[in-house]
């Protein structure tokens, strides 16, 4: 089996390609991400469940990574998903996007494309209309390979 | 000349049906962290908001950050309440707005 | 799987612009390839959502809208099937054009029409014709992407029957195998065998029609790493830059010859534009 080991060339080199990282950028630590999450969703304790996330385990390039996030919910006036937030804690700025639904949304399902500066766990939070908070996370390996093919 | 955003709606829909709407817009989504060839930082320029209205009511909204890839693709769903027109708005840092409208054929 | 020798690869990397850090992967090659296939199939699952389609749309507008000092549209441009006939034209290129007395690929021909019909200055069109990272493809490239898109579903079928077409094809083949420059590279150094790759990037073996047929029809392609459409002329320009060969002029004989060789190798292969590439 071919040895697949490749080597870090440094964040400054990455800056030209990922459009996301940069040598001057401070990396978010766990405490920083908690502050961001709290600002987004408040103090509720998140529980695992209800969220499914289609996201490749390995991205050929961190610039563009497709995803679909789905939250189980009847989506009625009585019970619906208010918002879904995606975060990339190891990006210079940790937010990916926030999506806001109504009871008329039909489905709390969104597809888009994220950009990741490096391998990390992507975090998702789903806020329900009754105040409950759900969460999930998924590890994504970010690779940059080749010479421009 | 920049490209017009792409919008995909179903050809037609019934009242009460949940339909998927796909949108795609050309935009570099500059994070402010990228360096140009001279070594300087390319200034941040994002589309920070995307909003969809149907028949005058907002049905979906997104706030986008640096973690959203260039040429943003967003697909979402909505339940069809009756006939009407979609209005999609993208708002850029600095306030510039890109607005596209498309009618939905309701059968 | 063979890999290119590490020191040659390092030499390429030193010259390649801003190549980034990567990941130490300890999984087996098969598992990695499978997961990369997940990434690739998710990106390609809906051709409508390929950001390159924005350039197809823009190219269509540029084709149909009067422009240039002469304020005419490109709808009078003859791409080989008669003035204004776009469907299927890309599938029959490169070909000889009597009015130019040259063999041209799609980009060389659009350059010709932009100059002769619309009155654009050739030197300006040739000055930095390709986009940098993060910048969209320029007008000529967008028009080429639109024209190529209008051959989707067809197979490459350039005739190479005219004596000048045969000459261009022979030149292309000779260039493909010709080693030169400070690193003594030829196209075949990277693209002359099966199973080659540079780090995680597989390298198609273009002299093998099977492989050429799967790849050539995807160009112009949207490249996620640079967030823009790359045309075939740009692709060749970039390869030459990586090999440290002299700068290639858009639409000149060298890239047209190489494109002729690639298209001939890909004969019968399906056109599916825009591709989606790393």
Distance in angstroms (rounded) separating the CA atoms of residues C138 and C145: 11
Q: Is B2 on the interface with C (CB under 8 A)?
A: yes
Give percent of chain C above pLDDT 90: 82
Q: Which domain holds residue A58?
A: 11-142
Tokens found for residue A27: 């990396």
- Confidence (pLDDT) at A17: 41
| Chain B residue set in contact with A, beta carbons under 8 Å | 18-19, 28-31, 33-35, 41, 58-70, 72-79, 81
Specify if A6 maps to a domain: no
- Confidence (pLDDT) at A13: 37
CA distance, residue A121 to nearest chain C CA (Å) = 14
CB contact under 8 A, C134 and B75: no
Least confident of B19-23, B103-107, C32-36, C270-274: C32-36
- Confidence (pLDDT) at B36: 77
* A10/A45: higher pLDDT: A45
Mean predicted confidence (pLDDT) in A6-23: 38
Active-site position among C9, C77, C113, C239 = C239
Specify if A149 maps to a domain: no
- Confidence (pLDDT) at C197: 85
For residue C199, pLDDT beyond 70 = yes
CB contact under 8 A, C20 and A19: no
Among chain B residues, the shortest Cα distance to A13 is held by: B35
Is C239 a known active-site residue?
yes
The radius of gyration computed from the CA coordinates of chain A, to the nearest angstrom, equals 17
What are A90-125's pLDDT values in tens digits? 999 999 999 999 999 999 999 999 999 999 999 999
CB contact under 8 A, B22 and C48: yes
Of C20, C42, C133, the CB nearest to A66: C42
Q: Tell me, what CATH number does B87's domain have?
A: 2.60.40.10
CA torsion angle A54 A56 A62 A68 (round to 10): -10
Total tally of structural domains belonging to chain A: 1
A-B contacts (CB, under 8 Å)? 118
| A-contacting residues in C 10-49 (Cβ below 8 Å) | 12-13, 16-29, 32, 35-36, 38-40, 42-43
CB contact under 8 A, B24 and C51: yes
Are C203 and C127 within 8 A, CB to CB? no
Tokens found for residue C216: 């050539």
Q: Which residues of B touch A99 (CB under 8 A)?
A: 60-62, 76
Mean predicted confidence (pLDDT) in C101-123: 98
Give the confidence band of C6 by pLDDT, cuts at 50, 70, 90.
Answer: low
Q: Which residues of B touch A74 (CB under 8 A)?
A: none
Q: Which domain holds residue B88?
A: 6-39+55-96
pTM of this prediction? 0.87
Give percent of chain B above pLDDT 70: 98
Instruction: Provide the strand spans (E) within chain B.
Output: 6-8, 18-24, 47-54, 57-64, 73-79, 84-92, 97-104
Q: Which residues of A touch C196 (CB under 8 A)?
A: none
**Which chains contact B through at least 3 pairs of Cβ atoms less than 8 Å apart?**
A, C
Among chain C residues, the shortest Cα distance to B34 is held by: C134
CB contact under 8 A, B34 and A19: yes
CA atoms within 13 A on the CB side of B90: 21
Specify if B76 maps to a domain: yes
Coil, strand, or helix at residue A24? coil
Residue to substitute from C14, C16, C23, interface A, most A β-carbons within 10 A: C23
Q: Which residues of C touch B69 (CB under 8 A)?
A: 224, 227
- Confidence (pLDDT) at C186: 96
CB contact under 8 A, C20 and A149: no
Specify if A79 maps to a domain: yes
Give percent of chain C above pLDDT 70: 90
Are A36 and A95 within 8 A, CB to CB? yes
CB contact under 8 A, B81 and A104: yes
Among chain C residues, the shortest Cα distance to A56 is held by: C39
Burial class from Cβ neighbours inside 10 Å (0-12, 13-18, 19+) for residue C14 reads exposed
Residue C33 burial (CB count, 10 A): 14
The radius of gyration computed from the CA coordinates of chain C, to the nearest angstrom, equals 19
Are A89 and A72 within 8 A, CB to CB? no
Give the confidence band of B2 by pLDDT, cuts at 50, 70, 90.
Answer: low
* C69/B39: higher pLDDT: C69
Specify if B34 maps to a domain: yes
Residue A61 burial (CB count, 10 A): 27
Among chain B residues, the shortest Cα distance to A26 is held by: B33
Are C216 and C262 within 8 A, CB to CB? yes
For residue C25, pLDDT beyond 60 = no
Of C164, C156, C128, C161, the C-alpha closest to C241 is: C128
What are C7-22's pLDDT values in tens digits? 554 555 444 444 334 4
Total tally of structural domains belonging to chain B: 1
CA atoms within 13 A on the CB side of C62: 26
Q: Which residues of A touch B65 (CB under 8 A)?
A: 93, 95-97
Average pLDDT of chain C, as a whole number: 91
What are A23-75's pLDDT values in tens digits? 334 445 555 899 999 999 999 999 999 999 999 999 988 999 999 999 999 99
- Confidence (pLDDT) at A20: 47
Domain covering C50-277 assigned CATH 1.10.760.10 in the classification? yes
Are B61 and B21 within 8 A, CB to CB? no
Tokens found for residue A124: 């998702």
> Which residues lie below 8 Å from residue A49, measured CB to CB, with a gap of 6+?
A134, A136
For residue A145, pLDDT beyond 80 = no
Q: Which residues of A touch C195 (CB under 8 A)?
A: none
Q: Tell me, what CATH number does A114's domain have?
A: 2.60.40.2470
- Confidence (pLDDT) at B73: 98
- Confidence (pLDDT) at C36: 86
Q: Which residues of B touch C58 (CB under 8 A)?
A: 1-4, 26
For residue B17, pLDDT beyond 80 = yes
For residue A147, pLDDT beyond 80 = no
Mean predicted confidence (pLDDT) in C129-150: 95
- Confidence (pLDDT) at B65: 97
Are B29 and B46 within 8 A, CB to CB? yes
CB contact under 8 A, B66 and A22: no
**Which chains contact C through at least 3 pairs of Cβ atoms less than 8 Å apart?**
A, B
Alpha helices, H only, chain A: 11-18, 30-41
């Amino acid at each position: 089996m071919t040895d697949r080991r490749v080597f870090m060339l440094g964040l400054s080199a990455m800056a030209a390609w990922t459009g996301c990282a940069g040598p001057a950028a401070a990396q978010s630590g766990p405490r920083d991400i908690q502050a961001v999450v709290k600002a987004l969703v408040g103090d509720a304790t998140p529980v695992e469940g209800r969220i499914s996330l289609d996201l490749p385990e390995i991205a050929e390039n961190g610039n563009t990574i497709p995803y679909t996030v789905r939250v189980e919910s009847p989506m009625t006036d009585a019970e619906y998903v208010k918002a879904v937030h995606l975060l990339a804690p190891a990006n210079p700025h940790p937010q990916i996007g926030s999506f806001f639904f109504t009871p008329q949304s039909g489905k709390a399902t969104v597809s888009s494309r994220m950009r990741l500066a490096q391998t990390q766990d992507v975090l998702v939070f789903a806020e329900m209309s009754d105040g409950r908070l759900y969460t999930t996370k998924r590890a994504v390996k970010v690779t940059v390979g080749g010479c421009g093919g | 000349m920049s490209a017009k955003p792409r919008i995909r709606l179903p050809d037609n829909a019934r009242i009460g049906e949940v339909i998927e709407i796909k949108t795609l817009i050309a935009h570099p989504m500059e994070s402010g962290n990228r360096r140009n060839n001279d070594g300087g930082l390319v200034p941040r320029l994002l589309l920070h908001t995307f909003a969809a209205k149907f028949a005058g009511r907002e049905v979906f909204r997104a706030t986008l950050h640096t973690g959203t890839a260039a040429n943003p693709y967003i697909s979402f769903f909505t339940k069809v309440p009756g006939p009407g027109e979609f209005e999609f708005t993208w708002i850029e840092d600095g306030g510039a707005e890109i607005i596209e409208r498309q009618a939905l054929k309701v059968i | 799987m063979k890999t290119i020798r590490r020191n040659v690869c390092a030499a390429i990397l030193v010259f390649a612009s801003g190549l980034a850090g990567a990941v130490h992967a300890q999984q087996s090659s098969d598992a990695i390839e499978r997961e990369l296939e997940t990434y690739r199939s998710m990106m390609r699952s809906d051709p409508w959502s390929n950001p390159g389609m924005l350039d197809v749309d823009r190219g269509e507008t540029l084709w149909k809208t009067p422009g240039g000092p002469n304020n005419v549209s490109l709808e009078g441009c003859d791409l080989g099937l008669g003035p204004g006939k776009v469907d299927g034209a890309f599938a029959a290129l490169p070909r000889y054009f009597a009015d130019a007395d040259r063999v041209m690929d799609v980009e060389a021909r659009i350059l010709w029409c932009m100059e002769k019909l619309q009155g654009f200055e050739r030197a300006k069109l040739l000055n930095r014709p390709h986009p940098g990272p993060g910048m969209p493809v320029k007008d000529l490239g967008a028009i080429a992407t639109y024209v190529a898109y209008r051959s989707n579903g067809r197979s490459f079928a350039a005739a190479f029957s005219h004596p000048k077409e045969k000459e261009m094809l022979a030149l292309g083949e000779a260039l493909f195998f010709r080693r030169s420059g400070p690193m003594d590279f030829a196209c075949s150094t990277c693209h002359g065998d099966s199973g080659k790759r540079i780090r995680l990037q597989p390298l198609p073996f273009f002299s093998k029609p099977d492989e050429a047929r799967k790849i050539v029809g995807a160009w112009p392609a949207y490249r996620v790493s640079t967030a823009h459409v790359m045309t075939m002329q740009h692709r060749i320009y970039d390869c030459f830059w990586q090999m440290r060969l002299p700068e290639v002029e858009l639409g000149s004989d060298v890239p047209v010859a190489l494109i002729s060789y690639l298209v001939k190798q890909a004969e019968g292969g399906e056109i599916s534009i825009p591709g989606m590439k790393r």
